[in-house]
Amino acid sequence: MTIDSSIKQHPYGGPSLRSRFMTWFLKRSFKSKVIQESMEFSYLRNAMEKQAAGKKHERGVTATPVSETGVKGEWQIPERIAPVCRDAVFLYLHGGGYAFGSPATHRAMTTGIARKAGIKVFSLDYRLAPEHPYPAPVEDAVEAYRWLLDQGVKPERIIVSGDSAGGGLSMALLLSLKQQQLPLPAGAILLSPWTDMTVSGDSHHDNQMSCAMFDRNAIRRGAENYLSGAAATEPLASPLMGDLSGLPPISIHVSDSEVLRDDSLRLLEQQTAADTSIDIHIWKKQPHVWPVFYPLLPEAKHCINDMTAFIHQQLT
């Protein structure tokens, strides 16, 4: 797929020197392992959690674990709540191919969002494959959303967000809420979302060399691990295949050089056909889900600024 001229490139430009180094580093330290057929997802899970244990979260934000029946995660609450975000919640669904990742691995970014936007964040710790394949993460996301409603949070005061698998899960959550005739949130922010389990976008082939983290085969194996025999065309597994009409405004951030680029661009086509409000920001030569490297990358800071603007706009 060619990026249409009507789709705006993000004005930041780039990539910065730090971003270039991060891409080089990820190709050597992460991608080189992920693309191997012998790579075990349990290895990545353990390595990511071990690495996350040494990370600090944003100053001025309190992180409190939550473990209730059907809901596990972490509240991340800034000292200062923005007036426009009073009584609002940012529900975050982490990425990691549905096989690894947690609130801890994404805490630097999500607490950065909490502080910058002045909003309470609930980072969900959903069940992971292969122990808990599809549709377990979707069920957990719906349960967490219902839990927030039971806490007295109004749907129009919720922004849903996620990266990579968590971005696809965010879309699956919206589709499931619509199917169940539950009230929809105010909007959603997707970071390099994984929306197509059939692995059929052109970028899965075209960007295999430029992508900092994956190749087509790694995405295929991740899909098989998550689906565990379920159909790849099932809409709650591949939201690209779903009926996207009637959804709230959606903002997407994606890099032009990543394997999952077309999972966003094809979603844009589907959303436009469904007459749903959507905007897409295409960043130049950034690693997959670069905001997770906040505060190391200047592009991560700029992206969080953009996310903050969208959050405040939808909650006004």
Is residue 131 among the annotated active site residues? no
288 is catalytic: yes
Q: Which residues contact 116 (CB under 8 A, 6 or more apart)?
A: 304, 305, 308
Active site residue 251: no
Out of 19, 164, 255, 257, the active site residue is: 164
Instruction: Give the span between the Cα atoms of 211 and 96, in whole angstroms.
Output: 16
Q: Which are the contacts of 313, defined by CB distance < 8 A and separation ≥ 6?
A: none
Of the candidates 58, 170, 255, 258, the residue annotated as catalytic is 258
Q: Which of 281, 288, 302, 312 is catalytic?
A: 288
The residue type found at 244 is L
On the CB side of 151, CA atoms within 13 Å amount to: 16
Catalytic residues, which ones?
164, 258, 288
